[in-house]
Amino acid sequence: MRGVLVGLSGGLDSVALLHLLSTQPRIRGAGLRALHVHHGLQPAADDWAAHCRAVCEALDVPLQVVRVDVARDTGSGLEAAARSARRAAFADALREGEVLALAHHRDDQAETFLLRALRASGPDGLAAMRPWQRFGSGWLWRPLLAVPRAGLLAHARAHGLPWIEDPSNDDTAHDRNFLRHRVLPLLRERWPAADAALARSAALAAEAGDLLADEDASALDAARTPDPYTLSVTALAALPRARRARVLRRWVDALGLPPLPAQGVARIECDLLAAAADAGAMFEWQGCAVRRWRDLLHAGALPEPLPSTWRVAWDGRTPLALPGGGELRLESADGFETPLFAHARGGGERIQLPGRAHSHALKHVLQDLGVPPWRRGRLPLLSDADGRVQAAGDLVTSAPFDTWLRARGARLVWRDAAPRAIPPA
């Protein structure tokens, strides 16, 4: 049995879940604890944290309170930003192999199904919330998905459990609250079992998605390259359009990037896959991008080029940190006899390649190597005191520098900032 961490907001649902789990000897024995995320968005936020402490003390369950800063300028709305901050806090707190238990119930599942349907989701989206899924370094468990909220309310009242009401849950400006307070009550008037029917449809969509998943995985594997952040355009083009859409979503999800928005796949299909190989076509969302360069699609966070004014002397004795992340490192050598200068590309550089009598334009050398334009903007150059380029990252070395490295059995290593945008959840 794995340890269980309960996400405790202090509301009815999470308090009822914590009480239910606290009555299970096996779960207590494996390690039961709770986590309250303090968003600081409501005037009573401190009172909510105090309430959660009181609940946990009464149930003899350890509590961790984590304060988070909710970004207000993401463009996705305050509710989504709070959810993202909360999930990040859960992921950070979750121990290796531990289970995060959340109190989503059948009514929540019905709401999620309707929201996804209104956003024109396919089977994977309509599957809504899964009972079990990988999360951070452990698992996410939703044990109450088959339980209606009315059942949790009855349980809480029967056991005298205290809970708090979040006033933001009554704000119908939020889509989910509008469905909860305006749409679903109307549906229940006509179809009393509407919640159960919608939740069942979500389960059927999950089954359909699972049936497609194995073939999706095989198709993705066929389109992969040695770099997990790139896919072969030729291999993608050989797939049926519907399969291609599922492969693209699966690829982006596997990289830990934000899910592609509804128009994402269509834009990639029309603007990138149909573009000329050298057109530099790109689709952006939430600080990430999928780009077309030659026969490859590249996915990752939007990289910032090295500052044009960046120029530092480097003796090679310790790794050199690069602006925006990443480093240059000299391996198997004690350092340079004379420091070299690390700097960004300015344009017009030339380099004498090993075995060549004349210098070549660095731009053409990088083009011949197939280095995408945006990666060239992150490429640190090493030049000597006279301004002669000796290396471009670890991709290109000059004839003299290559000789120097070989004589010492050394090598230059460039590690760029990882293209991942957010931790996988």
307 closest CA partner among 362, 341, 280, 346? 346
75 closest CA partner among 261, 263, 269? 261
Q: Supply φ then ψ for residue 16, to 5 degrees.
A: -65, -40
Instruction: Please tell me the total number of residues recorded for the chain in this structure.
Output: 425
Quote the radius of gyration of the chain (alpha carbons, Å).
Answer: 27
68 closest CA partner among 34, 108, 41, 104? 41
Q: Is 9 annotated as a binding residue?
A: yes
CA–chain centroid gap for 405, Å, is 39
Q: Is 14 annotated as a binding residue?
A: yes
Q: Is 12 annotated as a binding residue?
A: yes
Q: Is 210 annotated as a binding residue?
A: no
Q: Which residues are annotated as a binding site for ATP?
A: 9-14
Q: Which residues are annotated as a binding site?
A: 9-14
